[in-house]
Structure 1
């Protein structure tokens, strides 16, 4: 039974300088949150129809508030005119009540239309925001994605946008209605008594100014709340995905304490924000009580002086209540708004991350092209990118170097040329830079120096549509979606039918394994392929790669050991998959290197050796040492049993001389 290459290098006399890949650091947070106005401008840029939709909704909100302010007017008319003296003017009273009833019906209809319009506008805007955020995350390079925690990125598209949705659907309605109600109430208060209106404003203008100051503090506190939510989501997601390791090492209690800490930090941040909200609410209650008392006292004095009638004073007090109620409810709206805009800013922060690996078909633009202030797209006169040439593809690394941000070099001066239809195995110790080489070749990342070319075309000039259809990476984890085997294989060619899926397994020589499953190709694989073994996931991934029919295969071999039968199946499948194609395999099992046309040995980020297996294994050096360690591990694991048979490499006779036309036989096998 084969195993991963053991790390058996003798201990050096000096500290090792072997580069270790380091994740790029998370971008530092900005100093203070952006202003509300700038955030709203960004949101309008994402959804140009938002302004028009909100203006229409505001107009309906003004109509909807008429029904509330008409009641004080009716009361004033009845008191001052309908009940004048000792008589009752039933006609006036009836007309006033009837008018009020009609207006209330009209405003009820307006309220219904306002709610529908607001929901439609807000959900349309947020759907656009979710789509833009997800696509931008998907467009980020592997390097940029690794700088963010998975749970945090997921939270930006889900919970942070949900906060905006909750605010727009509930707080947004309250905000619009309250704004209209305050405007109309203020106008009518001025009509009834401008001195009393000025008295009311004398209490509330300072409160408005204070609220604006508190709003900035609340925005900072809710920004911390949203950050803590992202941390909590990341910690929980990591614990769920890593549950087998948690159980295996008995670290459940330690993991629980870590999550408890995330929960406690979230609770602390939320409590701090709510403490400020409670202070604002209590202050608004106090100001309302003082203002009401002052207006009653001043109103009575004006009434005694004959400057205001009883009906007007009663109507003014009604209107003042309509003015004060929205201010008190604004505390809750302010709470929701601060939380929502903190979430929105986190989403905009993601959209501001530069797409450092950019599709040339969109124009060779810088990070500004990814800004939400304008649609990303080709600039006038910008190169549209190139397609890879037809036929088999060669590879060229020219003085390539790579280093993670703020980290030591991982690759140094890599010069490597691979002829078309050549099977190359890249070997080396853990941390030598093999997987980084694969990511550069498939342009999941760009080198920090030098250039990588495929088919004679520098990769930064190749359109993604051409690159992804002609160059295929098969990662070592063999990731599968929670679908059937057939559905996962069809990711290689979406239009393929069940017969094409079966042909893929037959061509790779593993149809017997598929037929042995109770549901065959319709077997569900579970989340991440959890219902299949590691080796079985690799078989499905290879079938998917065969169906994709790429001209250049980059295979990052799985490090996990598999049973002998699956090992033989994998070796057979790899031999068939790479036949007639250029292939670069990041080999963790040296049986793969034995079957390759050429072996490239990477050591400490440099190419230490290259040649055929039989030449390298006979020559003192890194490869000979690795092979001896691997062979010793095989003999120990198998108890001296014979090594597994590996299919012979495809030589020149197995090449695909017909180029693209010759690939047709692979689909028809």
Structure 2
């Protein structure tokens, strides 16, 4: 149980129990008014009626205040608990391995921390209060009913017990139906997220109809699942109401017919009818509460499924965690194998030694293991066998804060947040100022580019940096890395072609950024490999060649073949550019 629930639940339970017991005062007061103030031996006694009525009114007001207090306290407690759960789920998702994020649709994980927790919030704000008060109210009402007539109480109880097997049968189907609803909601969110993020591609290729059909099918599946879950609630609710009404009618008929044999007078019978009506309210709510509870339980299990997903990249204990040295960091990769959860090895027997302050280019065909190798250097995943040593320390023993401070990876998509250029650069280091962001731009020689933007450093970049080109997003990402000032910089170059001016700015920025630190670049450009101190050539998950650009070209191996392909593509591009009119 969360700390929020442990602190707040006793108070809520006490207030709820008081409110539940307080509701029994009204039927008792009605019986006293009838027996002692209206039809008693002394006839009508207005003084008694007024006193008892005022007392009943006071009791009702106190019960209403207690109920309001319990409800407000419950909502606060529930929101605090769910806030903690949402944060824990969000943090856990960010600690999961790349394999989990790759295998899971983005919308599914988003649903776990949004719609699923919202389903639990709805339950906590109403269903939890119902489960707190109603059982006590039912038991207390039955106890008072027994005081008036155990025979009539037994009659009412037996009629209600007959519906319990049916309710259990419905409950099993409700929980399965609501589990399907949570799956369908996550599926719909995944399709919607994918459709929105790929809007430009959808319009460019005329996929609007096909994508709309796929999204419509996802929405229709969610609708069908929700209707399937709703039909059980719609089936249960009238059944419970019918049984409660039959029980009330049976008690009333039996009480009137055999009042003398049962030893219950007119006032007692009226009070008993009030008590049966009071009993009907929580019982009639069972159908709706059950539906609400099953939805919350289904959502709870989905969220718990995320929290129970093992974290494969386990951080060291704080007492055992080690720091990384300052300055450029050397890298030793020793006998590393790596495979994702399903499939063959992606890296096989990788042995690499990178000196501090070196500028290294990693090249290879698509699928050769370049990006996976770069991710291991940033500890976005751990090797299956072998070890990655940075600055003389096994990465698995490095304190997470030290790793994030000293090792930075710039992904090829240059992900940016929906903020200004300045804000995105300042994300590079906690506490970075506007002056730090401006200094990073100047140090990388990007001032002319920034000054050419509509609002300079305050230019909004849009969602995921959509207002900037691929190359411009990389420029901002490089400036962000400059602010971070890591000892090891890992750069996964963008595969998309950029205009010559941006290409030149990128080359100059990367040259400035490499000064004073170790740089490992997953190279997709000929110029990056040509100026590197060391080139690592990957093929089918292995480092098949390593050396300088000049030596590898002369060797006539895999790199020489890649180099010829690069040169050919570059010449073809240059010819096409010259052939364009104007």
Q: TM-score range by the shorter chain?
A: over 0.9
* Residue number in structure 2 paired with 1:55: 10
Quick one: which of 57, 65, 69 aligns to 2:20? Answer: 65
Distance in structure 1 (CA, Å) of the matches to 2:375 and 2:55: 74
Cα deviation code 1:184-207 (max 9, x no counterpart): 321211111111111111112232
Cα deviation code 1:444-467 (max 9, x no counterpart): 001112111111211111111111
Cα deviation code 1:333-376 (max 9, x no counterpart): 111111112111111111101111011135xxxxxxxxxxxxxx
Alignment of 1:450 with 2:386, yes or no, is yes
* Residue number in structure 1 paired with 2:36: 81
Unpaired stretches in structure 2, ≥5 consecutive residues: none
Alignment of 1:461 with 2:416, yes or no, is no
The correspondence of residues 633-644 of structure 1 with structure 2, limited to 5 A, is 633-639=569-575
* Residue number in structure 1 paired with 2:306: 350
| Counterpart contact for 1:361–1:464, Cα < 8 Å | no
Distance 1:66 1:280, change over 3 A: same
Q: Offset of 1:59 from its aligned partner? A: 2.0
The correspondence of residues 124-139 of structure 1 with structure 2, limited to 5 A, is 124-139=80-95
* Residue number in structure 2 paired with 1:316: 272
Distance in structure 2 (CA, Å) of the matches to 1:53 and 1:204: 33
Distance in structure 2 (CA, Å) of the matches to 1:306 and 1:202: 18
Unpaired stretches in structure 1, ≥5 consecutive residues: 1-43, 363-382, 643-669
* Residue number in structure 1 paired with 2:529: 593
| Counterpart contact for 2:326–2:487, Cα < 8 Å | no
Cα deviation code 1:233-286 (max 9, x no counterpart): 111101111111111221111111111111121112112111111221122122
* Residue number in structure 2 paired with 1:29: none
Alignment of 1:340 with 2:276, yes or no, is no
Moved more, 70-79 or 416-425: 70-79
* Residue number in structure 2 paired with 1:326: 282
Alignment of 1:114 with 2:70, yes or no, is yes
Alignment of 1:555 with 2:491, yes or no, is yes
Distance in structure 1 (CA, Å) of the matches to 2:496 and 2:36: 92
Aligned residues: 577
Q: Offset of 1:51 from its aligned partner? A: 4.0
Distance in structure 1 (CA, Å) of the matches to 2:428 and 2:262: 88
Q: Offset of 1:167 from its aligned partner? A: 1.4
Quick one: which of 550, 558, 578 aligns to 1:614? Answer: 550
Cα deviation code 1:464-494 (max 9, x no counterpart): 1111111111111111111111111111123
> Does 1 or 2 have the higher relative contact order (CA < 8 Å, sep 6+)?
1
* Residue number in structure 2 paired with 1:291: 247
| Counterpart contact for 1:635–1:641, Cα < 8 Å | no
| Counterpart contact for 1:426–1:587, Cα < 8 Å | yes
Distance in structure 2 (CA, Å) of the matches to 1:341 and 1:130: 16
Counterpart of 2:333 in 1: which secondary structure? strand
Q: Offset of 1:544 from its aligned partner? A: 0.7
Cα deviation code 1:504-550 (max 9, x no counterpart): 11111111101122211111111111111111111111011111111
Counterpart of 1:616 in 2: which secondary structure? helix
Quick one: which of 473, 476, 481 aligns to 2:409? Answer: 473
| Counterpart contact for 1:130–1:161, Cα < 8 Å | yes
Q: Offset of 1:640 from its aligned partner? A: 8.0
Distance in structure 1 (CA, Å) of the matches to 2:342 and 2:304: 25
Counterpart of 2:386 in 1: which secondary structure? strand
Quick one: which of 458, 471, 478 aligns to 1:542? Answer: 478
Q: Give the structure with the larger helix fraction.
A: 2
| TM-score where L is the length of structure 2 | 0.96
Quick one: which of 322, 332, 341 aligns to 1:405? Answer: 341
| Counterpart contact for 1:427–1:599, Cα < 8 Å | yes
Distance in structure 2 (CA, Å) of the matches to 1:530 and 1:159: 27
| Counterpart contact for 2:99–2:341, Cα < 8 Å | no
Distance 1:270 1:284, change over 3 A: same
| Counterpart contact for 1:235–1:262, Cα < 8 Å | yes
Quick one: which of 182, 185, 201 aligns to 1:226? Answer: 182
| TM-score where L is the length of structure 1 | 0.84
Moved more, 239-248 or 633-642: 633-642
Counterpart of 2:495 in 1: which secondary structure? coil
| Counterpart contact for 2:327–2:517, Cα < 8 Å | no
The correspondence of residues 254-293 of structure 1 with structure 2, limited to 5 A, is 254-293=210-249
RMSD, matched Cα: 1.7
| Counterpart contact for 1:66–1:103, Cα < 8 Å | no
Counterpart of 2:555 in 1: which secondary structure? coil
Distance in structure 2 (CA, Å) of the matches to 1:499 and 1:113: 51
Distance in structure 1 (CA, Å) of the matches to 2:532 and 2:86: 46
Q: Offset of 1:214 from its aligned partner? A: 2.6
Quick one: which of 427, 437, 440 aligns to 2:363? Answer: 427
* Residue number in structure 2 paired with 1:183: 139
Distance in structure 2 (CA, Å) of the matches to 1:496 and 1:323: 63
Distance in structure 2 (CA, Å) of the matches to 1:48 and 1:637: 63
Distance in structure 2 (CA, Å) of the matches to 1:250 and 1:214: 46
* Residue number in structure 2 paired with 1:154: 110
Cα deviation code 1:47-70 (max 9, x no counterpart): 134145223212212322345322
Q: Offset of 1:85 from its aligned partner? A: 5.0
| Counterpart contact for 2:108–2:189, Cα < 8 Å | yes
* Residue number in structure 2 paired with 1:6: none
Cα deviation code 1:204-237 (max 9, x no counterpart): 2232344234323211211111111111111110
Alignment of 1:198 with 2:134, yes or no, is no
| Counterpart contact for 1:75–1:311, Cα < 8 Å | yes
| Counterpart contact for 1:555–1:585, Cα < 8 Å | yes
* Residue number in structure 1 paired with 2:372: 436
Distance in structure 2 (CA, Å) of the matches to 1:185 and 1:283: 22
